[in-house]
Amino acid sequence: MLSKRPIATLFIDAEPPERATYGGRMARNRRFQHGSLFKRGTRTKVWVARWWEDVSGREGKLERVRRSEILGTVAEIPTRRQADQILSNRLRGINAGDFRPQSNCTFSEFVQRNWMPELLPTLKYSSKKHYEYIVNFHLIPAFGDMQLRLISRELIQSFLGGKLRSGLSWKTVKHIRTTFGTVLAAAEMQGLIPNNPARQTKLPRRGPVAEQPPIAPEKIRQLLEALPEPSRSLAWLLVLTGLRVGELLALRWRDIDLALGCLRVRQTVYEGRFDDPKTRRSKRTVPLGAKGVEILSVFKPQCIDPEALVFATRRGTPFSRRNLLNRQLAPTCERLGIKGVTWHWLRHANATLLDAVGTPLGTVQALLGHSSAEVTREIYLHSVPADARIAVEKVEALLIGPKWTQVAEAAKVTSTLIH
């Protein structure tokens, strides 16, 4: 059974005699276009309409192509008069004086010639790599040779459904849809397509998400004690401060004030490239507890270069988060039987611990850098909200507990009182 929705196909024929080309531009139609209409098929007959249409060629020159479209079945459209009316409505925009030719540029050509050179340089390096991967690995193999104007909502919807059925996660397919929409939005802005069909698509309802195992302080403490350096210190600070790993690896000594017990997030680093933090509000001041100050004091050199990285290789370059994950963090977690741990997991652990000690939601958002401007103002310790510092100290106490010296002193006093 054929769908009621017209199915468009494209035929490129020789230019008709009534059309002339002058200096790469085509002259105006000499007569009003009515198109042609005929029946096709044996068992299921359909009405087929054909007409000429201007498109913008690869070099910006106008070209005339022959369009063919199935209007519907004869059972759905029983008379020629009805079919003629549908065709007339279809040609109304083309016969209008303000008709704007669409482009026959393919998706791959647009990406390579326009989108990548113009849009990608405006993005952060990490976002650029993310977009490039999705475009090259998912979109170009499926739509690379297709003309932009022929990419329809139905095609995109079917494509996204296929990705879900192939086993990709709902979140990954959502990223693919977002990237596709970003590329087509750029084509729409340049007038190559009349609208963005990706915006008209919908993802199916997200199914139940597997519940993550609870982040127990005992497991975190076990992991922190087992990690080798420098991952141990990095992991400690991620759990205590809630920084993103890129923010932590980009810290310089100018950003640290051990006397006041705070650090300031100014940059992030990804694959050796420094950039501004994820959002404007991610630039923030984070208080340090005693443990955080102790860890950073160990790394503090005798002669401090304010521009030197706090965590750096022997060459002074930032550590690779991926190498540290693969060589130290992941093997340690596997040995301990702890699953699902990444650098970002440790940031989530900080949020969980803050919530466990009763930290107000606004304070958690401020410490993590996702909050409103009111609670993320870039300030130093004397202006850091008191509840933020109390929250940091409570998290340290939850992980570390009383110092062994304090326990020993308490036991000695108790023994003296008994005797």
- For the stretch 238-282, pLDDT in tens is 999 989 999 999 999 999 999 989 999 999 998 888 988 877 778
**Structure confidence at residue 105 as a pLDDT band (50, 70, 90):** confident
Q: Which of 10-14, 28-32, 293-297 has the lowest mean pLDDT?
A: 10-14
Q: Is residue 193 pLDDT above 70, yes or no?
A: yes
Q: Is residue 143 pLDDT above 80, yes or no?
A: yes
Three-point CA angle 185, 191, 192, nearest 5°? 80
Please give the pLDDT value at position 419. 43
Residue 282's closest CA among 371, 380, 383?
371
Establish how many alpha carbons lie within 13 A of residue 198's alpha carbon, considering only the half-sphere containing its beta carbon.
Answer: 22
CA distance 71 to 77: 9
pTM tops 0.75: no
Please give the pLDDT value at position 69. 80
Q: How far does CA 207 lie from the centroid of its chain?
A: 20
pLDDT per residue over 285-294, tens digit each?
899 989 999 9
Q: Is residue 168 pLDDT above 60, yes or no?
A: yes
Domains of the chain: 7-103 (no CATH), 107-200 (1.10.150.130), 217-400 (1.10.443.10)
**Structure confidence at residue 418 as a pLDDT band (50, 70, 90):** very low
3-state secondary structure of 194: coil
Question: Is it true that the peptide bond before 117 is cis, omega within 30 degrees of 0?
Answer: no
Q: Check: CB of residue 142 under 8 Å from CB of residue 176.
A: no
CA distance 17 to 370: 64
CA distance 336 to 210: 22
Place of tokens 């690995």: 137
CA distance 395 to 240: 7
Q: Find the DSSP H helices in 79-169.
A: 80-95, 107-110, 116-118, 125-134, 140-143, 153-165
Residue 264, strand partner residues: 285
Residue of 97 and 283 predicted with greater confidence: 283
Q: Is residue 400 pLDDT above 80, yes or no?
A: no
Residue 94's closest CA among 136, 73, 64, 61?
64
Place of tokens 């340090």: 288
Tell me how far apart the terminal alpha carbons of the chain are, to the nearest angstrom. 97
Q: How far does CA 188 lie from the centroid of its chain?
A: 21
Q: How far is CA 384 from CA 262, 264, 363, 365, 392, in A?
A: 9, 12, 10, 14, 12
Q: Check: CB of residue 143 under 8 Å from CB of residue 184.
A: no
Please give the pLDDT value at position 414. 37
Q: Is residue 139 pLDDT above 90, yes or no?
A: yes
The per-residue b/e assignment along 18-28, b for 16 or more CB within 10 angstroms, e otherwise, is: ebeeeeeebee
